[in-house]
Amino acid sequence: MRLEVRNAQTPIERKPEWIRTKAKMGPEYQALQSLVKGEGLHTVCQEAGCPNIYECWEDREATFLIGGSQCTRRCDFCQIDTGKPADYDTDEPRRVADSVRRMQLRYATVTCVARDDLPDGGAWLNAETIRQIHAVNPGTGVELLATDFNGEPRLLDEVFAARPEVFAHNVETVPRIFKRIRPAFRYERSLDVLTQARAAGLITKSNLILGMGEEPEEVIQALQDQHEAGTDIITITQYLRPSPRHLPVARWVKPDEFVAFKQEAERIGFLGVLAGPLVRSSYRAGRLWAQSMVAKGREIPAHLSHLADTELGFAQAV
C-alpha cells in the first residue's frame, strides 16, 4: 500500500486547546500585507498560512521559498509537493532581493526545495540569492535554511562563501524514525552538514519536530547529537499534519514538556533556544540570531543592531 494511502486511513486530528495562534494585526503587519498584496509579492509566510505571520511581519521578518514549488525529495511531514521541478530560473535571486527591498525587511529567511536534478543541487541558486539580498539590502540579515547537498563539501563551500548570518539545516527528528520519515536524507549526514558549516565560521541552526513517534529520551539524545555536531541555535516544535496524505500525529506535546525540553537544550549549551507548539524554524529568526551572537560573545554589526532589541519577546515560545 502506498504511504499516502495508508496515511489517509487516519482522519485529520483535532488540535488540543493549547494550540492557538495569538493573532495581533499591528501597524507594521498591516502595512506589509497591503504592500505584498498590492505589488504581487510572494512569501512562504502567507502562501503556507503560517500561524506566526502577524508577529514576524510586525517585526519586518519574512521567509522566501526558491527553486520552484516542486521538491525532488519527499518527507512525510512536509506540505511541499514532490515531483519534477520547474526549469532553473537564474533571475530568481534578483527578484527575491528586490522583494526584500520593497518590503523593507530587517531579516529574511531563504529556503529552497531540494534540487537533486541539478548538477550542483541548487548550490549556486542558494548562494546567489544570499549575495543579491546582501548587495541590495545591506541592512538586512539573511538566514539560509538549506538542504544537505548530499553532504558534498564542494557544494556546501559554495553556499558557505556567500556568508549568510545563519546557516540552518533541519535534522527534524530522531535516528530511530529518521529514515522512515525522511528517506532521502541521512541522520549522520545532516549532522555532518552542520559540522561543516560551523567549521566555516557560520552561526548554525537546526530544528526538531515533536509528535511524529519519538520518545522523550530520544529527543534529549538528538539535542545532544546536534549540539556536539556544532549547532548553535535550536528550535523545537509540534508536528501539525498538513493533509490526510501526510504522517498522522502520534501525540500532542504539552506546554510543560516544551518548557522541559527548552531547559534541557539550554543546559546542553545551545546559544539560542525557542520551543513551543507553534514555533517554526524561521520564527523570529532575526531576534534569535542576535540573541545567539551576544551569547557567543560576537559583536552584532552596526547595520543589524536593531535586531538585538529584545522588547517584543517571543509570543509563541514557552
Reported confidence tier of residue 107, pLDDT bands at 50, 70, 90 = very high
Strand partners, 235: 207, 274
Residue 86 lies in a domain: yes
Instruction: Compute the average pLDDT of residues 186-197.
Output: 98
Give the three-class secondary structure for 111: strand
If phi > 0 it is left, if psi is from -120 to 50 it is alpha, else beta; for residue 67 that is left
Residue 4 lies in a domain: no
pLDDT of residue 244: 87
Residue found by looking up cell 506546554 in the block: 255
pLDDT of residue 104: 92
Average pLDDT across the chain, whole number: 90
- Is the Cα dihedral 79, 84, 87, 88 positive or negative? positive
Residue 90 lies in a domain: yes
Residue 218 lies in a domain: yes
* Residue 172: φ, ψ to 5°: 80, -40
Question: Which residues, including other chains, have CB under 8 Å from residue 209's CB and lie 6 or more apart?
Answer: 77, 172, 173, 237, 238, 239
Residue 39 above 80 pLDDT? Answer: no
Residue 33 lies in a domain: yes
Residue found by looking up cell 507553534 in the block: 278
pLDDT of residue 263: 98
Q: Which domain holds residue 179?
A: 22-308
Domain count, the chain: 1
The length of the chain in residues reads 318
Residue 11 lies in a domain: no
pLDDT of residue 22: 66
Residue 112 labelled as part of a binding site: no
Residue 78 labelled as part of a binding site: yes
Give the three-class secondary structure for 24: coil
Query: N- to C-terminal Cα distance for the chain?
Result: 39
Residue with more model confidence, 202 or 309? 202
Residue 146 lies in a domain: yes
Lowest mean pLDDT among 32-41, 102-111, 251-260: 32-41
Residue 255 above 70 pLDDT? Answer: yes
* CATH number, domain with residue 215: 3.20.20.70
Q: How many CB atoms lie within 10 A of CB 42?
A: 13
